[in-house]
Amino acid sequence: LLVCYAVYRYQYPAAFLVAARETDVVFGTINAVLLLTSSMTVALAVRMSRAGQAHLSGYALLATVALGLAFLVVKAFEYSGDIGDGLFPGPGFRLGPPQTQIFWSLYWIMTGVHALHLIVGIGVLVTVFALLRRAAFDSRRNTIVEGSCLYWHFVDIVWIFLYPLLYLPGRS
């Protein structure tokens, strides 16, 4: 998807700038802050699990889940506004030139796939939290905590790429 974005942005630079200016940079920035903060809380979860503090690690995981849920709430408000503003590709799409629909198609696909991965990450972190609460803490569970947190960092890193590609062009 990122390569597809790069190809079309190279092919239609003016249309992509027009389209990107319509994204809600405030919502995008709030979500960037939420996910960067969640990277910190998930890193704390790993640190605490390595120190044998399963209880505190679990709370850090819950904080990460809360930040992930907040991201999804913000994204839902953003999507609602985008739809209301006629920024969903297809009939009723309000921007011209026609190539702006390519940007918005990629926007919806990339942010939607990211949101799906975030939902999976939330489910994984909740499952790991439940494992930490039910069972004695051991090195095997530490590996589970670390693996789930690596997945979360992956989701955050993807947003670090999406944010400047989708929200910042044409705003300087």
What digits encode the pLDDT tens for the residues 105-128? 999 999 999 999 999 999 999 999
Range of the domain at 60: 2-88+95-167
Quote the number of domains for the chain: 1
**Residue 82 within any structural domain of the chain:** yes
Helix, strand, coil shares of the chain, percent, nearest 5, are 80, 0, 20
pLDDT surpasses 70 at 148: yes
Inside any domain, residue 40: yes
C-alpha radius of gyration, the chain, whole number:
19
Residue 172 lies in a domain: no
- Highest-scoring range by mean pLDDT, 63-77, 83-97, 129-143: 63-77
Note whether 60 and 104 are within 8 A (CB).
Answer: no
CATH code at 115?
A: 1.20.120.80
- Please state, in angstroms and rounded to a whole number, the distance separating the CA atoms of residues 82 and 79: 5
Separation CA 84–CA 164 (nearest Å): 23
State the amino acid at position 71 in one-letter form.
Answer: F
Confidence (pTM): 0.93
